[in-house]
Amino acid sequence: MTDKPLAGQLALVTGASRGIGAATAEALAAAGAHVVLTARTSGGLEELEERIHASGGSGTIAPMDLTRAIRSRASPPRSADAGMRSTSSSSTPGCWAILRRCLRSTASASTSC
């Protein structure tokens, strides 16, 4: 049995910049998962990503406000390239495009979305 039960798995953690989200992300990374870290601000995410990498884990940051998508009840774009032109954190289609790109990629520890 491996000491990294989530090796080769991908985990998406929202609200990862602090508190329970950050602790969850660190635990998932320690268990071997590549963690995609999302939150509204990038500062806490960058610090968390550095801690994860320093401890031998792998993570990718994707700063964005997912609550905007929930409030507008927006759905992800239907086509693979829809929303790719607008990738700012204030754009709901852009948020979906960034997440889609992160989840499709085979992100390495040095890759950010």
Task: Report domain extents, the chain.
Answer: 1-63, 65-106
How far is residue 9 CA from its own chain's centroid? 13
Q: What is the model's pTM?
A: 0.65
Can you give the pLDDT of all 113 residues of the chain as single tens digits?
Answer: 568 999 999 999 999 999 999 999 999 999 999 999 999 888 899 999 999 999 999 999 988 887 776 666 555 544 444 433 333 334 445 555 656 666 665 444 344 44
Fold of the CATH domain 1-63: Rossmann fold (3.40.50)
Residue position matching structure tokens 């090796």: 7
